[in-house]
Amino acid sequence: MHTSHTAKLDSQRLNEQYMQRAIALAKRGEFTTSPNPVVGCVLVKNGDVVGEGWHQKAGEGHAEVNALQQAGEQAKGATAYVTLEPCSHFGRTPPCAKGLIAAGIKHVVIGMVDPNPLVSGRGIKMLEEAGITTEVAVLESAANMLNPGFIKRMKTGKPFVRCKMAASLDGKTAMANGESKWITGSDARQDVQRYRAKSCAIISGADTVMIDDAKLNVRYNELGFIANDLKEDDIRQPVRVIIDSQNRLTPSLALFNQQSPVILVRTTVENEHQWPHFVKQIQVNERLGKADLTDLITKLAELGLNTLWLESGARLAGAFIRQNLVDELILYQAPKLMGENTRGLFDIEQLTSLKDAISLDIKDIRMIGADIKITATVNKQI
């Protein structure tokens, strides 16, 4: 009994050890795999790692394929540790479950089941029908954290929305004349670039684009240590989604100098301007004279966009929060006081009672250089 219990604990410890390695490998693809999920895989035989891989780019080999290629003949009889259930269908690449079967893998340890209801469990069933034993939900919470956008889109048909704001310690985002560069320091701005790089799309409003003449692209030279492992061409520029319900943008803005996809969001599509080839206009429903944000993010999910990075002014950010569309709030606060004749963080409808205040659940507080970074979720009972 004691020996059996000890063996079970040893097996659990090894499963978690190798799954941690698979999770670390998966993270290496977080800036390049979109819209696909990040996945890592480790192959172990007789206590030795014989193959490792991660999904590096959409349309290229999945994590299991890359690990099997590294292992070669040593894959036969090995155990595979993979963060996400091996796929069972033909997409842009063949099913990974079939690849594991053909390689002679004897056991598969899986971090989490595929959240796609059309696929969920089928990869596991395929493996087991081929005589391969499986274990599921090893470090499941950590595996889930790798792909919050992919998981939410698969389960709900909506993308995961992060809202970023930067302010002084007294909650101000700009001077009265609009001056805001730079409230936070270079470390915080570098952190923002990393979030941009791993998001499927950046959402902003026409006001932000016009006032700042913003490009809203990923700036490779500001990615810091990430740039040590990636070439500039490896960085996938996120889709830039600009809400322009009044059709005020023109092709002369700096936004259109960067040749990466732009989606202009309209309530009525206009044909007055000749837009560059990478610009697409989509029409969404109107809500109280503005673009219907729920309709917008549903349409973006239908385009395969998993994670949205909302980087905008107080009005649009406030609208997303009022409509319960923000999954995570990232707030950078600089050690500065900007006084009263300034602009605030969120334009939220006037509240008359403290009980009506929007509450947040703070998940993390840390220093980023000289600035405070707060990560929070919005309490949905608004």
Positions marked catalytic: 64
Q: Which amino acid, 116?
A: N
Name which of 239, 264, 237 is nearest 251 in CA terms.
264
| Burial environment of residue 304 by CB neighbours within 10 A (0 to 12, 13 to 18, 19 or more) | middle
CB atoms within 10 A of CB 228: 7
116 close to 154: Cβ distance less than 8 angstroms: yes
344 close to 166: Cβ distance less than 8 angstroms: no
Question: Up-side HSE of residue 129: CA atoms within 13 Å toward CB?
Answer: 9
Name which of 122, 132, 129 is nearest 100 in CA terms.
132
CB atoms within 10 A of CB 262: 21
CB atoms within 10 A of CB 1: 5
First-residue to last-residue Cα distance in the chain: 54
